[in-house]
Amino acid sequence: MAADDDMEASTRAPAGLLGELEDDAVEHDGVVAGDDARVLVTQDLLEVDAAEGDERRGGIGRRPAELGIEGRQEARAQVTIGRGDRSDTGDAQLVDEAPLQRPIHPLAAAAGLGRVAEDVFDAEVRPPPAMTWKGVIRGDAGPAVISPTLPQTHWAIAGRSKGLEIWRTLNAGTTLGPVGSYLPDDVRANASIAPPFVQCSVNHDVVLLGDMALWKTTNLFASNPGQPDWTGNSPSVNDRITSVAFAGSDATCQTYAIGRKGSLQMTTAGGGASWRNLDPNNTLPKQKLPKGLAFAPQTPNTLYVVYSKFAAGEPGRVFRTVNALDPNPTWTNVSASFAGVSFDFPHNSIALDPVDPRIIWIGTDLGVMRGIWNDSSASMSWTHYGPESGLPNVIVHDVKVHAATRQPVAFTHGRGAFILVDTVAWCRGSWAPTLGTKFGVCPP
């Protein structure tokens, strides 16, 4: 499909439309979220990612896909243009103006977990940056992968329109072509809306897709102009794979782990030829969902897993092992607590600092958590980032860490992407923010 095929006439002039949900998206609990347009201002595109939604108790059932943008420098600003009344599900109004500057006023907090805050912005107009944006695909957008060697042009995204669809571009979205046709028909017909879709950091052709079994391609981009081959790469079971992670320290892309309800598995030889149980002693939760896996950048022995969902009698949201390669890995519960009270909210994603593996960032149903491992005390210290730091009081589906600046970027449910910055420089109009303590919100 061409980049601008099937787009509404009113959206051709503005360049900020990243994606649009279909009207028949899955709904739960009879609640429909508003369809707000999102405008992000960025430079030097590096990674586009989309968080994965899952059904939660008491939350918004229909989850619009959040496309996250991480730049070579960093995501510069985020604003939402739309109707403030969350009960109004009419189309958001795009403005044919220069992109808006970052939000100026803090976001209004929600009444409670599971409800969407009515965000209030007071933004100024500023000249657009050199790069503009346009929508390229319609449907329920899922996770994306960006070539580590050709990040300006080579991208792929897995989403759902009429079944699972995977699209590839080798020219920065000017043209896109399907690359999932060689997957079995039943996989494409029954796949989840946003399945795990993960790329090896040292070889852009090696990509894993999680479903009831793991699927692997080793020629995602090299197969052009043909389609890539997909092969089954793990045993098929009755529970979907909910998380996948490569060990970045393995230059051969042979070491990776997968998580599904009640099970973690890892392969280290033959790239999926053999698998072993990472929890033979049944230390980890069995009823919660392992939604995030992350290896330490320097070694595959250190592995973290974070859990979503609620399950009575299963304490713990964050677990850590430093001997993942052993036959019987030892897992330690390093979950957060404040004043003796466990932070027992669903954890949805995890990312490690690319320089200091002691630092981890986690996206939760109630903001972002930063953990710092202390070797001398063998414990984790935690800091919570919520509305007081500039984040809206909504679910954070995904968190990424910028490789150069080490800044975390939080991808929220329906409120766009937020980057942790030094607000002194940021609020004075700097377009090159540095790591700080606030998520880009300036005082009135």
Q: Is the pLDDT of residue 6 over 50?
A: no
Residue 88 domain-assigned (yes or no): no
pLDDT computed for residue 132 by the predictor: 62
For residue range 77-121, list pLDDT tens digits in order: 333 333 333 333 333 333 333 333 333 233 223 223 333 333 333
Residue 65 domain-assigned (yes or no): no
Residue 225, preceding peptide bond in cis (omega within 30° of 0): yes
List CB contacts of 125: < 8 A, sequence separation 6 or more: 97, 98, 100, 101
pLDDT computed for residue 11 by the predictor: 34
pLDDT computed for residue 386 by the predictor: 92
How many CB atoms are located within 10 Å of the residue 237 CB?
14
pLDDT computed for residue 101 by the predictor: 34
- Give the Cα separation of 89 and 165 in Å (integer): 26
Mean pLDDT of the chain: 74
The two tokens of residue 163 are 């079944």
pLDDT computed for residue 379 by the predictor: 94
Residue 11 domain-assigned (yes or no): no
Residue 387 domain-assigned (yes or no): no
431 falls in which pLDDT band (50, 70, 90)? low
The number of angstroms, rounded, from the C-alpha of 399 to the middle of its chain's C-alpha atoms is 6
Q: Which of 62-76, 276-290, 393-407 has the highest mean pLDDT?
A: 276-290
If one counts the domains in the chain, the total is 1
Which of the pair, 78 or 189, is modelled with greater confidence?
189
For residue range 30-75, list pLDDT tens digits in order: 333 333 333 333 333 333 333 344 444 333 333 333 333 333 333 3
Residue 174 domain-assigned (yes or no): yes
pLDDT computed for residue 49 by the predictor: 37
Residue 178 domain-assigned (yes or no): yes
Please tell me whether residue 180 adopts helix, strand or coil conformation.
coil
The two tokens of residue 31 are 């609640």
Q: Is the pLDDT of residue 404 over 70?
A: yes
**What is the full DSSP assignment across 293-347?**
EEEETTEEEEEEEEEES--TT---SEEEES-TTSSS---EE---EETTEE--S-E
Asked if 77 and 101 touch (Cβ cutoff 8 Å), the reply is yes
Residue 164 domain-assigned (yes or no): yes
**203: containing domain:** 138-233
Please tell me whether residue 425 adopts helix, strand or coil conformation.
helix
Q: Percentage of the chain surpassing pLDDT 70?
A: 65
Which of the pair, 91 or 278, is modelled with greater confidence?
278
Q: Is the pLDDT of residue 209 over 90?
A: yes
For residue range 218-275, list pLDDT tens digits in order: 999 999 999 999 999 988 777 999 999 999 999 999 999 999 999 999 998 778 989 9
Asked if 242 and 196 touch (Cβ cutoff 8 Å), the reply is yes
For residue range 132-176, list pLDDT tens digits in order: 666 766 677 788 999 999 999 999 999 887 789 999 999 988 898
pLDDT computed for residue 43 by the predictor: 35
Residue 22 domain-assigned (yes or no): no
pLDDT computed for residue 69 by the predictor: 33
How many CB atoms are located within 10 Å of the residue 125 CB?
11
